[in-house]
Amino acid sequence: MEENYIQLQKNDVLKLRIRDAEGNDTGNCLEFDLEDIELLPKYQELVDKDRKNRNYLSNQFKILEKKKDYKKKNELLSYKQKEQVRMLQEFYRKEVEVYNMFLGEQGVEKLLNGRKLNWNTLAEIDEIIEKAILPKLEITEKSIKDKIIKKYTNKRDDVLE
């Protein structure tokens, strides 16, 4: 018996292949369905949560500065240094969740390609989003609006005649 298949299409999908610092393909890519009307709200949520995480970290550092520092014998790090490391680890964990919400599953990890997340890599990811992804989303948003207007304007014209 012959099986029948339905071929699914991938229209308006932005596929960004990822290369390492030497220009070698990592085998990973980020994909964005440009027809997904939730992409821009997801990006806005990323911006909002990122700002909230940064403010929280800044406030935690200010609180820590007011506390007394001490260092136990035979330990390399003082109390404040340990707390700063802990706070940064928590911050980076939250940032990965926030960015992956927009970039897709393992998006941050794909972009880092084995590197650790830090202030510099966060700035690199922000730059990638701003230069490679956002311009496409803005064009697509206009395209979706135009398609909707065109589709429903024609029907209105038929009704009005």
Dump strand ranges (E) for 21-160: 25-33
**CA–CA gap between residue 61 and residue 120 (Å, rounded):** 19
In 3D space, the residue among 9, 31, 28 whose CA is nearest the CA of residue 132 turns out to be: 31
pTM over 0.85: no
Per residue in 21-34, pLDDT tens?
899 999 999 999 88
Average pLDDT over every residue of 55-80: 94
| Separate counts of helices (H) and strands (E) for the chain | 5, 2
CA 98/CA 64 separation, integer angstroms: 25
What percentage of the chain carries pLDDT values higher than 70?
Answer: 89
Tell whether the model's pLDDT for residue 8 goes beyond 70.
no
**Residues 6 or more apart in contact with residue 53 via CB below 8 angstroms:** 91, 94, 95, 98
CA-based nearest residue to 30, from 13, 44, 45, 43: 13
CA distance 129 to 136: 10
Confidence of residue 122 (pLDDT cuts 50, 70, 90): very high
pLDDT digits (tens, 9 = 90+) for 134-151: 888 877 666 777 777 777
Query: Which range is least confidently modeled, 5-9, 96-100, 119-123, 154-158?
Result: 154-158
Cβ neighbours for 113, distance < 8 A, ≥ 6 positions apart: 18, 20, 26, 28
Q: Which amino acid is at 111?
A: L
Task: Delimit the domains of the chain by residue range.
Answer: 13-160
Work out the average pLDDT over 13-42: 90
